[in-house]
Amino acid sequence: MAEAMLAVRGMSVAYGSVRAVDGIDLDVRAGEVVALVGANGAGKSSLLKGLMGLGGRVGGTILLGGANLYGVSTQRRARRGIGYVPEGRRVFAGMTAEENLLAVSRENAAARAARTQEMYALFPQLGLRRTSPAWQLSGGEQQMLAVARALMVRPRLLLVDEPTLGLAPAAARAVIGALRDVAAGGAAVLLAEQNARAALAAADRALLIRLGRIEASGPASELATDERLLRAVMGG
Amino acid sequence: MTAILHMRTWLVRDLNILLLAGAAVLVAWPFVADDAYALRLFTQAGIYALAALGYQFVFGHAGALSLAQGAFFGLGAYIAGILSVRFGAGFELTLPAAAIGAATLAALIALPVLRLRSHYFALATLGIGQVILLIAINWESVTGGANGIPNVPALSLFGGTVGRGWPMLVLVWSLVVAGALCARLLTGGLSGAALQLMREQPMAAEASGIDIGRIRFAALLLSALYGGAAGALQVHTVRVVSPEVLEFQVMVMLLAITVIGGRTSIAGAIVGAVLLIHLPEWFRPLERYYLMAYGAVLLAMVVAAPWGLMGAMRRARLHWLPEAPPPPPSAGPLPARHPPARLEIADLTRQFGGVRAVDGIDLAVAPGESVGVIGANGSGKTTLLNMIAGAETPDSGQILWAGGDIAGLPAYRIQRAGIARSFQMSKLVEEMSVLDNVAAAAWREFGGPDQGDARRAAMGLLDLLELAETAWRPCGALPPGLRRRVEIARALVGGPALLLLDEPAAGLTAGERERLAGTLAALNAAGTTLVVVDHDLGFLEKFAARLICLDQGRIIADGPPAVVRRDPGVVAAWLGQAPAKEAGHG
Amino acid sequence: MDFLQLAVNALALGAAYALVALGFVLILNATAAVNFAQGDLVAAGGFLAVALAGILPVPGLLLLPLVAVLMAAVGLAVCAVAYWPLRDRPPVAVFISTIALGIILQNGLNGLFGAEPRAAPPLSGSGHLEIGGLVVARQSLAIMVVAALLIVGLRSLLWHTQLGRRLRATGQDREVAAALGIPVGAMVALTFALAAALAGAAGLLLANQFFITPTHGTDFIVKAYIAVVIGGWGRVGGALAGAMLVALFETVVAALADYAVATGLLYGALLAILVLRPQGLFGEAEGRRA
């Protein structure tokens, strides 16, 4: 089996005295979608933020393509090939959809333009709204934009935080489907999702997270019917 | 013997010994440098100290960056100057007239301006200063225009004359002492803690029954009273009033004094004023550039020590001479509980943008019930809680409580009606002790600078929640489990009949959850009605006899936990829909 | 005074105010902080032009790039001293630190140049032009043209270059911009440099026709502040329109009554807008920071 694109060992994330993530091991290989499933406050979002270097005191080791990310700034993590889709989408509201995509690119003008076309091929709906200010887009379109924006730099690892929150089923399907395409293109995808069924349908493997720890892990299809799933999500 | 020990503790604590030494030096200095110029500088320092003490009410205690203090000061100077030159009024008249005149201006501007926040408030208050300056320059028949009014007579008090030099200095500093004592009475002890709560956690303050709008109003009025009085002293000291007293430089000086001395420390205002008035003397080698030194010192303080000189000394003392905490106060009786009442919500709706966060909810909670509220992220739980507690205004619908509709009432009035709450994100004052965090919420009941009674009452609640050992620890140093308990203790200060808790178990370990659930069960057994929002059914089941599940702003299940847990709609809402299926909601 | 003449004066003044307000808005959008020293940077730019004119006797137009570059360097220093150390504190901390910086600038200028008004060299010769029967001061015309070019240039930088997109992305959501690899620290520093360069240009333009004193800065910042409030907090186009309105109001009312009445009414209007329409005169902002 190929070496993991992302290898995490004993990771913790603490905010003040709160340990949001408490000793998690996980691997994500190139070409694979791994889902983190759990209730709100289980630590999924904190884990992704910790990987990105956004707040919290992070312990443990994080290897990206074998290189340690310890002490690497957020901006450099992005430049080393992590794409990030934040919770709540957080598109650049005052800029058009196309500007959102262009702004993060690090390629020359021709390559930038070509890459936006690839994004419009992935999300045709976005191509139709390319000149609209991002705040005018629907929730689904904003989510597509947030994913496309992260993909502009051809990341090796894509972190996606709660992409289906508040989306209509059709939009949720489009976004989740695109993540499968991204993995098929060779990237590693780590997906944090409260909507357990949507996440498990899209993922190869999944981790059930509760109170900052891994409750169970395995192939997504097996966990979908596991009784521990309901427990992880509902508590008790 | 104990008195001597007590004295020693008092001297060492808060560096009072240093302050006393400083005060002694202050008193001695004019004797040592007994020339007219030194006395004048010292008089001037006293005047600015008084104006800065006033400025602390609004900038320090209420936390609003007002740029109108210079205008109050200048207005006071003009009022006193005009009255004494044109009408020969004595200080017994010019002082109150100046103070009340400035306060009247404050009251007039308060209505539009106090609603504004941060930058807007600063700009609006700056604008008011500029308008007053323009009037002073252009209303020549009254103000003397750009040249002002010369030959203001020496200060007369009940017929006698108070001359320059020592007499004026003593008068000014007596007023500083009086002003400091008043400020101590108004902002010391328990009031100081409550004001800090209001500044740092305004939502928690409102939820503790504190009417922030009223306090901001009072702070602005007080700042104007002090500023106007200082202006009157200024005009009698320099014997001339001109538009200079209204220029932005005066405002900047007061801001610098307050930032450098310490924003809420009475000693800080005095130390800051004495320092800044003497700064030009010490920077005299810089010649024309000495004023730059003000800016440089102010900048350095903002960057390196935003808590000011007094705060820095306190920090240094805590670092180098940590003291053993005093024994906790004896526990007082628990607050009297509001009579139990029924909560009845009818057709409650709240929209954000196009999304109905709460969509026509009907809900009744009987006295003594314990209800858990569950639902996915964004299902409307917190919005529902916020509307009951008055943190958000419903678009439509009723919230009946104890015989009246409380929908849309401000949070502090709902707290006073017997409904208390906690917050999803912990809202404690981090550097304040556990005891004072709880005591501050009892300000309305106990008032005043003396914190003894409030602390004893708080101690009773800390005992109830098994927090007695942590009484003197700063909240910032507590683990999350204890922080949640502190917040519950604070919510209980008003003796609520209904307690609303928003995700009290978030961030807690399994053991801490277990303990918290036990506490809540005990509270409920003692008669407090509970409505608790959380994600963890296992936690809720331990004390709630009834669960309500929200989905997209509506109630989709309501019943005993065992039933709700197996409800297919609830399960679907929690696990979400697989994207392949179309049915239901996403 | 002839109404058209008045309008030309108002436009020239408005153009210079617009440059001040633009610099203010750039920093506001990039950092959510108020740069209270922006007005003093204008005064500094004006005096820099005065000083350079003493060394290099060339028209103001040729001094303009030099002033802009030197002021950009000052902007970097402002960022490093008064903003960067306070970036994680409440915005009011930067408000106070830039007030302090303003005092330093004002009194530094006062020490170097004295308190009396000084004039920078005209952009391209003084005198008047006659256009279609209307006599216009060359300087007024030059101010308008130069300011318009600067504004158009800034607009195309922000809207049509990769650098501009990155500057704007940083202003919209700094954390996400960093997480997507945009060097946000450099973008913020660059914003301060740009804002100070604009202030310098405004100083050079204003210092010829209206003279300049070290304490003028407070006046400029208050006008810029008002323009930004009128235009809607953080809106670039709104700030431009607001600056024009402030200048027009000032010029026309001052001509009809006097300057004090104009300023008094301006503050009255400002208070009314703050209370009645805090979102500004020109519609809702884009739903981001308030």
Instruction: Say if the Cβ atoms of B119 and C34 lie within 8 Å.
Output: yes
What mean pLDDT is predicted for residues A49-70?
92
What mean pLDDT is predicted for residues A22-47?
91
Residues in chain A within 8 Å Cβ distance of C169: 92, 95, 100, 103-104
Average pLDDT over chain C, rounded to whole? 86
In whole angstroms, give the CA distance from residue C138 to residue B326: 77
Report which residue type is found at B218.
A
* Chain A stretch 82-141, residues whose beta carbon is closer than 8 A to a beta carbon of chain B: none
Instruction: Say if the Cβ atoms of B65 and C92 lie within 8 Å.
Output: yes
Pairing of strands B529-533, B370-375: parallel
Rounded to a whole number, what is the distance in Å from the CA of C186 to chain A's nearest CA? Answer: 12
**Burial (CB count within 10 angstroms: exposed 0-12, middle 13-18, buried 19+), residue B65:** buried
Question: Greatest CA separation found in chain B?
Answer: 94
Give the rounded percent of residues in chain B with a pLDDT score beyond 70.
93
pLDDT reported for residue B165: 83
Sign of the C-alpha dihedral computed for residues B263, B269, B273 and B276 taken in this order: negative
Residue among C89, C225, C268 minimizing CB distance to B123 = C225
In whole angstroms, give the CA distance from residue A3 to residue B514: 41
Rg (CA), chain C: 18
Instruction: Say if the Cβ atoms of C288 and A79 lie within 8 Å.
Output: no
Beta partners for residue A36, in sequence order: A192, A207
Query: Nearest-CA residue of chain A relative to B476?
Result: A16
Residue among C95, C104, C226 minimizing CB distance to B122 = C95
B564 in contact with A, Cβ within 8 Å: no
* Chain B stretch 129-188, residues whose beta carbon is closer than 8 A to a beta carbon of chain C: 130-131, 134-135, 137-138
Rounded to a whole number, what is the distance in Å from the CA of B124 to chain C's nearest CA? Answer: 6
Residue among B378, B506, B576 minimizing CB distance to A197 = B576
Residues in chain A within 8 Å Cβ distance of C178: 73-75, 78
What mean pLDDT is predicted for residues C195-220?
87
Instruction: Say if the Cβ atoms of B539 and A162 lie within 8 Å.
Output: no
Indicate the range of A203-207, B449-453, C187-191 predicted with least confidence: B449-453
Question: Which of C180, C182, C184 to substitute to test the interface with A, most A CBs within 10 Å?
Answer: C180
In whole angstroms, give the CA distance from residue B197 to residue B264: 13
Residue among A52, A94, A99 minimizing CB distance to C286 = A94
Size of interface A-C (CB pairs under 8 A): 74
Collapsing DSSP to helix, strand or coil, C121 comes out as: coil
Confidence band (pLDDT; 50, 70, 90) for B17? low
Confidence band (pLDDT; 50, 70, 90) for B103? very high
Instruction: Say if the Cβ atoms of A95 and C172 lie within 8 Å.
Output: yes
C175 in contact with A, Cβ within 8 Å: yes
Confidence band (pLDDT; 50, 70, 90) for B586? very low
Query: Looking at chain C, which subunits does it touch, using at least 3 CB pairs closer than 8 Å as the criterion?
Result: A, B
pLDDT reported for residue B310: 85
Average pLDDT over chain B, rounded to whole? 88
pLDDT in tens, B25-34: 766 776 676 6
Question: Which of C218, C274, C286 to substitute to test the interface with B, most B CBs within 10 Å?
Answer: C274
Query: Looking at chain A, which subunits does it touch, using at least 3 CB pairs closer than 8 Å as the criterion?
Result: B, C
3-state helix/strand/coil string of chain A: CCCCCEEEEEEEEEECCEEEEEEEEEEECCCCEEEEECCCCCCHHHHHHHHHCCCCEEEEEEEECCEECCCCCHHHHHHCCEEEECCCCCCCCCCEHHHHHHHHCCCCHHHHHHHHHHHHHHCHHHHHCCCCEHHHCCHHHHHHHHHHHHHCCCCCEEEEECCCCCCCHHHHHHHHHHHHHHHHCCCEEEEEECCHHHHHHHCCEEEEEECCEEEEEEEHHHHHCCHHHHHHHHCC
pLDDT in tens, C101-159: 998 999 899 888 888 888 888 877 767 777 766 777 778 888 888 889 999 999 899 98
What mean pLDDT is predicted for residues B562-575?
86
Instruction: Say if the Cβ atoms of C286 and A52 lie within 8 Å.
Output: no
How far CA C133 is from CA of B302, C124, C138, C144, in Å, comes to 57, 22, 15, 19
Give the rounded percent of residues in chain A with a pLDDT score beyond 70.
99
pLDDT reported for residue B15: 54
pLDDT in tens, C221-253: 888 888 988 887 778 888 889 999 999 888 888
Flag whether pLDDT at B578 surpasses 70. Answer: no
Flag whether pLDDT at C275 surpasses 80. Answer: no
Residue among A109, A112, A150 minimizing CB distance to C180 = A150
Rounded to a whole number, what is the distance in Å from the CA of A79 to chain C's nearest CA? Answer: 6
What mean pLDDT is predicted for residues B527-539?
92
Rg (CA), chain A: 17
Residues in chain C within 8 Å Cβ distance of B140: none
Give the rounded percent of residues in chain C with a pLDDT score beyond 90.
37
Instruction: Say if the Cβ atoms of A103 and C181 lie within 8 Å.
Output: no
Rounded to a whole number, what is the distance in Å from the CA of A90 to chain C's nearest CA? Answer: 7
pLDDT in tens, B339-390: 999 999 999 999 987 788 999 999 999 999 999 999 887 789 999 999 999 9
Rounded to a whole number, what is the distance in Å from the CA of A46 to chain C's nearest CA? Answer: 14
pLDDT reported for residue B8: 60
pLDDT in tens, A142-152: 999 999 999 99
Instruction: Say if the Cβ atoms of B535 and A39 lie within 8 Å.
Output: yes
Instruction: Say if the Cβ atoms of C179 and A86 lie within 8 Å.
Output: yes
Residue among B355, B506, B576 minimizing CB distance to A195 = B576
Confidence band (pLDDT; 50, 70, 90) for C270? confident
pLDDT reported for residue C258: 78
Question: Which of A195, A210, A213 to substitute to test the interface with B, most B CBs within 10 Å?
Answer: A195
Flag whether pLDDT at A25 surpasses 50. Answer: yes
Rg (CA), chain B: 29
Flag whether pLDDT at A13 surpasses 90. Answer: yes
Residues in chain C within 8 Å Cβ distance of A84: 176, 179-180
Here the ipTM equals 0.93
Question: Which of B286, B292, B307 to substitute to test the interface with C, most C CBs within 10 Å?
Answer: B292
Question: Which of A17, A210, A231 to substitute to test the interface with B, most B CBs within 10 Å?
Answer: A17
pLDDT reported for residue B585: 38
pLDDT reported for residue A236: 60
C172 in contact with B, Cβ within 8 Å: no
Question: Which of A194, A213, A231 to substitute to test the interface with B, most B CBs within 10 Å?
Answer: A194
Sign of the C-alpha dihedral computed for residues B326, B328, B330 and B335 taken in this order: positive
Residues in chain B within 8 Å Cβ distance of A198: 576-579, 586
Average pLDDT over chain A, rounded to whole? 91
Q: Between C119 and B70, where is the model more confident?
A: B70
Task: State which of B436-450, B536-550, C19-33, C111-125 shows the largest mean pLDDT.
Answer: B536-550
For the record, the structure tokens of B538 come out as 């296992």
pLDDT in tens, B286-295: 777 777 888 8
B356 in contact with A, Cβ within 8 Å: no
Rounded to a whole number, what is the distance in Å from the CA of B481 to chain A's nearest CA? Answer: 9
Instruction: Say if the Cβ atoms of B296 and C229 lie within 8 Å.
Output: no
Collapsing DSSP to helix, strand or coil, B501 comes out as: strand
Instruction: Say if the Cβ atoms of C179 and A99 lie within 8 Å.
Output: no
Instruction: Say if the Cβ atoms of B571 and A176 lie within 8 Å.
Output: no
Indicate the range of B59-68, B256-265, B506-515 predicted with least confidence: B506-515
Query: Nearest-CA residue of chain B relative to A200?
Result: B578
Question: Which of A135, A197, A231 to substitute to test the interface with B, most B CBs within 10 Å?
Answer: A197
Rounded to a whole number, what is the distance in Å from the CA of A215 to chain B's nearest CA? Answer: 13
Size of interface A-B (CB pairs under 8 A): 90
In whole angstroms, give the CA distance from residue A235 to residue C77: 54
Instruction: Say if the Cβ atoms of B579 and A172 lie within 8 Å.
Output: yes
In whole angstroms, give the CA distance from residue B375 to residue B554: 10
